[in-house]
Amino acid sequence: MRRSIGCFVAFCLSAMPLAAQDVDQGRALFQTHCANCHGGDADGLGPLAPALVLQPSNLTELSAKNDGEFPLERVLKRIDGTDPLVSHGSPMPVYGPYFEGVANTPMKLPTGQPMLVSEPIADLVGYLMSVQVD
């Protein structure tokens, strides 16, 4: 019986589409929490960038640097802190606790595997996906 329930839950999660993100909310979150390092245009040229040991990434080129595919899982894990990037002595993201919340928003990875994240993370990633250049 448990196996049947587990299979049903897995099926339901895998059948879910990419979570609907609020790109405007994601933009606002980015400006509040990320722009000081990554720049207002997500180009990596924020006012605090010169003070960091590792320079912030140009977030508009994530897809271009990944054979045209947005590296969704890597980005989600960097934001939620499960794949920390140490820069200037502290783990990125600095505002990780804000983004923790309840992981109840499914995002479908390119492999088809769903990953549950908080709504603010889904919105932020939706914004980042919207600013990708070719």
CATH number for the domain spanning 58: value is 1.10.760
Q: How many domains does the chain have?
A: 1
- The answer to whether position 2 is within a domain reads no
Residue 33 contacts by C-beta under 8 Å, 6 or more apart in sequence? 93, 94, 95, 98, 99
The reply to whether 9 falls in a domain is no
d(CA 81, CA 90): 11
CA angle (17, 21, 22) in 5-degree steps: 155
Domain contains 4: no
Instruction: Determine the pLDDT at residue 13.
Output: 42
Residue 32 lies in a domain: yes
Q: Write down the residue that tokens 């549950």 correspond to.
A: 116
Q: What is the pLDDT of residue 54?
A: 81
DSSP 56: P
Asked if residue 7 belongs to a domain, the reply is no
Task: Report helix, strand or coil for 76.
Answer: helix
pTM confidence score: 0.78
pLDDT of 79 above 90: no
